[in-house]
Amino acid sequence: MVGSVEVGALSEKSNGKVDLLMEEFDPMAVVSEPLPPVVVDNVECVNGEAKTKTREIVLGKNVHTSCLEVTEPEANDEFTGDKDAYMAGVLARYRRTLIERTKYHLGYPYNLDFDYGSLAQLQHFSINNLGDPFIESNYGVHSRQFEVGVLDWFARLWEIEKNDYWGYITNCGTEGNLHGILVGREVFPDGILYASRESHYSVFKAARMYRMECVKVDTLISGEIDCTDFRTKLIPNKEKPAIINVNIGTTVKGAVDDLDLVIQTLEECGYSHDRFYIHCDGALFGLMMPFVKRAPKVSFKKPIGSVSVSGHKFVGCPMPCGVQITRIDHINALSRNVEYLASRDATIMGSRNGHAPIFLWYTLNKKGYKGFQKEVQKCLRNAHYLKDHMRDAGISAMLNELSSTVVFERPLDEEFVRRWQLACQGNIAHVVVMPSVTIEKLDDFLEELIQKRATWYQDEKVRPPCLSAEIGVENCACPLHKILGKLSLGLHDQWSPDNFPVTACFRTLGQKYGTVENLVGSLSRFFFWKLLNPTWQTSYREPDQNQIYKITQLSNQQILTQISKKLKLAKALAGNSIENSYKQFIASL
């Protein structure tokens, strides 16, 4: 339907100036890209366009860049004390490095602010909660009493009764996901795993490990799961149960999937509650959400199967750990299938770190619900502070409403990235505002970033990357979007050439800007649209729409060249005010 309207609209256009303008249109006139490609993980910048390509995996070698070799003690070491002195020296230097690195840490969601001095006395013991937290083993040096206390606390947080839940303290967020998805698969052996593209990589690792069919669902610009796409992907697979990974905070953008909408979509597609299993990956925000007003509640009163959260993130812990809670019915189902085991074997790992539960128990007791609430509020406040100050400084930045993850333009200098230990992906980097991240630290960071940027981008040929594809036009402050913003062209989603009859669109633009049509000719709108939406690929392939298609294939630089030509053309037709705007536009690129 939409398609046919558009084709009609375009046919109308193709009888106008399009052909004329396209005569001087030379898509091959590629201006060499002045931007040095940003060295990134899985994206290579070519001609200013981010092209996703498979990252070259370092194969065939192990990098031994830094290695503290283990050496055999000398016969007289005990006498001379040389080795002891050497080791003490290594450790002291290492400790200083850790202090320094802890100070300049912003990129990972680890709360580095903890004091477990009272627990140092326990380091002398080999504490191991092997197996199930609720089944005593004969190994006496365990901390199950602490573990169960912590699990009960989380069960209360996620609204499930003591007798209805089962859980354990894991080694990390990945183990939680591996467990949740395994339980889902055991409940529905032929179930299909659905997860948004921005889910943590461990979710896809699980699918591969467990030999599960896995369907990737698109995401919105915010990073949330796109439930329209989810619906499209659910419907053809209706004969198989669904296992869904819901992100309570994605890794990169801190986006919180709308759990209620996911459930609603499943119901609307005809999945009854006994035909789906939802695992909530709350690695980071699973513990923050309950304290954020307006946040969709993670609760076992809803038809979810499991929730996991990391313990070393918001809580803070010397070593990685996590909490996994699921319904005991599921664990019973899983255990009934296990014919080769003498006992319930429901954990992924066998021997389990018994110190982690004590660290968690200690912090939960110290802070309590109220303490966490205060810290969550502080983190969200500080995250807003950072985002606002970045935007004020003209830096592209985004902050999801329910998140303390500020996504922004990837710093050009890898040294800076390493110094602040920023996690990067493609053109974006992020700061996760944890309780250990104070306003002072953010100020230091901002000051340094602004200073450095002035040097990175002092040469006009080097420009900050455009992030409209990653964080949306409204959050992008790249030179182009900055000037477009100033020009107030105001091209919004609903004006997409793909969505909106061209005539109506032009009428609106005409009403608003009067001389837009005169300025760059009728096709220029498509140039602008492409600039604003680098990923736009029109579906028009009608022979007489070929020019439109060609535009969608151009790089930004090529488009700018075209606009420049058209502006010259338009100059004769248009008033000076537009020319001035153009000058300003070019100057700030």
CB 35 within 8 A of CB 462: yes
Strand 405-409 to strand 192-196: parallel, antiparallel, or no bridges (unpaired)? unpaired
What separation in angstroms does the CA of 283 have from each of 59, 165, 252, 279? 30, 19, 12, 11
For its own copies, give the closer residue by CB, 325 or 390: 325
How far apart (Å, rounded) are the C-alpha atoms in residues 383 and 446? 12
CB 410 within 8 A of CB 424: yes
How far apart (Å, rounded) are the C-alpha atoms in residues 163 and 328? 8
For its own copies, give the closer residue by CB, 328 or 509: 328
H helices within 201-258, ranges in order?
A: 201-209, 227-234
For its own copies, give the closer residue by CB, 124 or 294: 124
- CB within 8 Å of 510: residues ≥ 6 apart: 516, 517
Burial tier of 235 (Cβ tally within 10 Å: 0-12, 13-18, 19+): exposed
For its own copies, give the closer residue by CB, 202 or 552: 202
Name the minimum Å distance from CB 157 to its own copies. 10
For its own copies, give the closer residue by CB, 123 or 584: 123
Neighbours of 238 (CB within 10 A): 12
Name the minimum Å distance from CB 148 to its own copies. 4
Give SS3 for 376. Answer: helix
H helices within 395-532, ranges in order?
A: 414-419, 439-456, 468-471, 479-487, 502-513, 516-520, 524-532
Burial tier of 519 (Cβ tally within 10 Å: 0-12, 13-18, 19+): buried
For its own copies, give the closer residue by CB, 316 or 534: 316
For its own copies, give the closer residue by CB, 130 or 393: 130
CA dihedral 409, 411, 417, 420 (to 10 degrees): -70
196 noted as active-site residue: no
Name the minimum Å distance from CB 81 to its own copies. 12
Among 155, 119, 116, 157, which residue's Cα sits nearest to residue 134? 155
Q: What is the DSSP string of 39-62?
A: --SSEEEETTEEEE-------S--
Give SS3 for 248. Answer: strand
For its own copies, give the closer residue by CB, 426 or 497: 426
For its own copies, give the closer residue by CB, 178 or 259: 178
How far apart (Å, rounded) are the C-alpha atoms in residues 143 and 145? 5
Give SS3 for 497. Answer: coil
Among 381, 315, 310, which residue's Cα sits nearest to residue 112? 315
Residue of 202, 403, 404, 436 marked catalytic: 403
Name the minimum Å distance from CB 178 to its own copies. 8
Q: Which helix (H) or strand (E) holds 303?
A: none
Among 465, 524, 528, which residue's Cα sits nearest to residue 491? 528
| Cα 102 versus chain centre, distance | 23
CB 327 within 8 A of CB 305: yes
Name the minimum Å distance from CB 478 to its own copies. 23
Which of the residues are catalytic? 403
